[in-house]
Amino acid sequence: MNEIVDGINQAIQLIVSMNPEVMEITARSLYISLSATLVASLIAIPIGGFIHFKEFGGKRGLITVIQALYALPTVLAGLLIWLLLSRAGPFGFLGLLFTPTGMIIGQIVLIVPLMTGMTLIALSGVSQTKQDTVISLGATSLQTIITIVKEARFAILGGTILGFGRAISEVGAAMMIGGNIRGYTRVLTTAIALETSIGDLPLSIALGIILLLIALLVTGLLFLVQER
Amino acid sequence: MIEFEQVVVNFGEKRVLKDVSFSVSDGEIFTFIGPSGSGKTTILRLIDMLERPKSGKILIDGTNVTKIHDREKIRVRRRMSMVFQKPSPLRGTVYSNVAMGLQFRKVSADEISRRVSESLEMVGLGGYEKRKALTLSGGEMQRVAIARAITTKPEVLLLDEPTANLDPGSTETIESMIGGLRDRLGITVILSTHDMVQGQRLADRIAVVIDGRIGQIGTSKEIFYKPMTHAVARMVGVEDILDGVVTENEAGLAAIDVNGVLITACSTASSGTPVTLYMRPEDITIYEKDNIRSSARNKFTGRITEVIPIGPMVRLKVDVGVKLTAVVTQRSFEELGLALEKDTELTFKASAIHVVERKEV
């Protein structure tokens, strides 16, 4: 029991004193997950828009597949990207395995379905009457899409925040693709997993507290956005 | 000029419009009246090309718009504007809402600013530019929606039940605005309503839509006093629909036997012709016994069998051999000492009855 209390005390000291290793891991985590979220939103929002506004065969089925992928296990995303990026894989020549860029790609694969789904939900939250109003005012197809996406912007942003939350808290893909290399690909989640297993509880707890704070911040932001 | 030729619309298996044909001239106020779900909204959406017919032609200034490409559609649609039953403002200010149609048309910022102010003045919301659209009242939102529609200077304004969700005050404002818009801008106004009286107040011509068909097209006078079918008659407030046979006709004044009661009505139908009589309750006068000063040809005594108060009015059913419906004010109901099961006298003019020859006997 004492060990845990000591661990918490030391963890707080690590955070308050802005321990370089703690700060470095936190910054890398934010960099990787924010980059992944940014790129994923550039992919997911247009795809969501396309699916919402276009009528095509198999639309219902595609949406079902996207929804099923919300729950894509992180280790599966990790395995898939590992296979693609490994030396023997089709993209092995890029040398991206065990790099931050590789980790970003892994997280993108992980959160694009979720963010596409959230975009779809956000767009269908804009009433048909609003869409008809925009069309009746003489909008072209492109003007209609832009106007409706703007109308749903807060709900879409909510989906983006949710995507970031999933990216920063996942450990499977980060571990498999990044390899948890100290000073290079070590992020909050992989560090916690490693430090706990080798018994460095204060560092683990300190990183855990930071991860928790980020999660709370994200939830808070989401709440604010949904209030709009 | 907008023309429909035998337009049919299906939603899935359900046929919502059946062989709808009509034409609206430039500068006309044309109203579709009908119960909810009769197909009025669908007709307006077809004109704005938001819906596609299963068959039939829709001609706008001679162009069949069911056959044109998207680009051409937008060009035609930009000459019209539609206001929906639910005002549905978009996020942002009143200004950004009203400016939208002009922005789609890539009008210059100066011009937009000038025309938005102008339109808001026209709907009585001058100075509302910076307000958040979503914080307005229902009546104000609907006026913003109208300003948004007229700011593009459309040639045709489509209004779908524009006052259905509004209080009487806002309704009056919007009704007087609609008449004013046509007079000032010279635009064609096509609106739908389930409120017959509104149709009568606003329209040059009315089309009665019942169950996906057009029952009758005409001026409000024709529709209200000369309905051609039972369904139209019921829709426009005719209470008594009686079948009878003409027994005698003297110089356009027909004696008609309705279930043993002899009613005199203006008609050219000759003796022996089966006819239907349509009578509006407002045309039947109830009067005090032994105080006959009316010149009306039809005078009857009967027993009051039903009394239904409707606001300041009372609706009575009086059995004079056939049941007739009359309305009196609450005040005269009391002054005349009327009550259920009491006898009363009533009268109506021969010209107040609309007589239609029955095809089937």
What is the predicted pLDDT for the residue at B274? Answer: 94
A200 — phi, psi (to 5°)? -85, 75
Which tokens hold the place of B159?
Answer: 């209004």
CA B335 to each of CA B308, B324, B338, B356: distance values in angstroms, whole numbers, following the listed order: 17, 21, 8, 36
Q: Tell me which chain A residues have a C-beta less than 8 angstroms from the C-beta of B48.
A: 136
Q: Are residues B231 and B285 in the same domain?
A: no
Neighbours of B217 (CB within 10 A): 17
B309 — phi, psi (to 5°)? -75, 135
* Tens-digit pLDDT profile for residues B131-144: 999 999 988 999 99
Q: Give the alpha-carbon dihedral of A162, A168, A169, A172, to 10 degrees.
A: 120
Q: Give dist(CA A130, CA A139) in Å, integer.
A: 12
Q: Are the beta carbons of A137 and B90 separated by less than 8 Å?
A: no
CATH at residue B303: 2.40.50.100
**Residue type at B137 in one-letter notation:** S
What is the predicted pLDDT for the residue at B294? Answer: 66
Could you tell me the residue range of the domain that residue A175 belongs to? 2-227
CATH at residue B43: 3.40.50.300
Q: Are residues B257 and B218 in the same domain?
A: no
Nearest to B90 by CA among A152, A180, A16: A152
Domains of chain A: total: 1
SS3 B220: helix
| H helix or E strand, kind and range, residue B300 | strand B298-310
Disruptive mutation site among A127, A136, A140, A151 for chain B (greatest number of B CBs within 10 Å): A136
Burial class (CB in 10 A: 0-12, 13-18, 19+), B96: middle
B67 — phi, psi (to 5°)? -115, 5
CA B273 to each of CA A78, B229, B246, B256: distance values in angstroms, whole numbers, following the listed order: 89, 17, 5, 9
| pTM, rounded to two decimals | 0.81
Q: Are residues B231 and B275 in the same domain?
A: no
Kindly list the residues of chain A whose beta carbon comes within 8 Å of any beta carbon in chain B: 127, 129-130, 132-141, 143, 147, 150-151
**Edge to edge, what strands does the sheet with B55-60 contain?**
B14-24, B2-11, B55-60, B63-64
Look at residues B207, B235, B263 and tell me which one is the last residue of a structural domain: B235
**Edge to edge, what strands does the sheet with B253-258 contain?**
B261-266, B253-258, B240-250, B274-279, B354-357
Per DSSP, the residues of B190-207 read EEEES-HHHHHHH-SEEE
pLDDT greater than 80 at residue A186: yes
* Banded model confidence at residue A227, pLDDT cuts 50, 70, 90: confident
Neighbours of B64 (CB within 10 A): 13
Q: Are residues B87 and B133 in the same domain?
A: yes
SS3 sequence of A125-143: CCCHHHHHHHHHCCCCHHH
CA dihedral for B4, B8, B10, B16, sign (positive or negative): positive
Q: Average pLDDT of A123-150?
A: 94
Q: Give the alpha-carbon dihedral of A150, A156, A158, A160, to 10 degrees.
A: -120
Partner residue opposite B104 with nearest CB, options A130, A137, A150: A137
Q: Residue B322 carries which DSSP code?
A: S
CATH at residue A189: 1.10.3720.10
Look at residues B217, B235, B253 and tell me which one is the last residue of a structural domain: B235
What is the predicted pLDDT for the residue at B292? Answer: 61
Which residue is it, tokens 């939350």? A165
Q: Give dist(CA A113, CA B99) in Å, integer.
A: 36
Could you tell me the residue range of the domain that residue B118 belongs to? 2-235
Disruptive mutation site among A55, A126, A132, A133 for chain B (greatest number of B CBs within 10 Å): A133
* Tens-digit pLDDT profile for residues A18-69: 999 999 999 999 999 999 999 999 999 999 999 999 889 999 999 999 999 9
Q: Are the beta carbons of A129 and B86 separated by less than 8 Å?
A: yes
Q: Are residues B228 and B258 in the same domain?
A: no
B259 — phi, psi (to 5°)? 50, 40
Q: Are residues B77 and B172 in the same domain?
A: yes
Q: Are residues B228 and B304 in the same domain?
A: no
Partner residue opposite B82 with nearest CB, options A130, A136, A141: A136
Angle at A167 between CA A163 and CA A169, to 5 degrees: 120
Q: Tell me which chain B residues have a C-beta less than 8 angstroms from the C-beta of A138.
A: 74, 77-78, 101, 104-105, 152
Inter-residue contact B300 to B345 (CB < 8 Å): yes
B335 — phi, psi (to 5°)? -65, -35
Look at residues B197, B217, B235 and tell me which one is the last residue of a structural domain: B235
Burial class (CB in 10 A: 0-12, 13-18, 19+), A191: buried
Per DSSP, the residues of chain A read -HHHHHHHHHHHHHHHTT-HHHHHHHHHHHHHHHHHHHHHHHHHHHHHHHHHH---TTHHHHHHHHHHGGG--HHHHHHHHHHHHSTTSTTGGG--TTSHHHHHHHHHHHHHHHHHHHHHHHHHTS-HHHHHHHHHTT--HHHHHHHHHHHTHHHHHHHHHHHHHHHHH--HHIIIII---TTTT--HHHHHHHHHHHT-HHHHHHHHHHHHHHHHHHHHHHHHHHH-
Residue count of chain A: 228
Q: Give dist(CA B270, CA B252) in Å, integer.
A: 9
Low-confidence ranges of chain B (pLDDT < 70): 289-294, 360-361
Minimum distance, in Å, between the CA of residue B91 and any CA atom of chain A: 6
Q: Give dist(CA B144, CA B95) in Å, integer.
A: 9
Inter-residue contact B154 to B80 (CB < 8 Å): yes
* Tens-digit pLDDT profile for residues A83-102: 999 988 899 999 999 999 99
Domains of chain B: total: 2
What is the predicted pLDDT for the residue at B360? Answer: 59
Q: Are residues B149 and B64 in the same domain?
A: yes
What is the predicted pLDDT for the residue at B51? Answer: 93
B74 touches chain A (CB under 8 A): yes
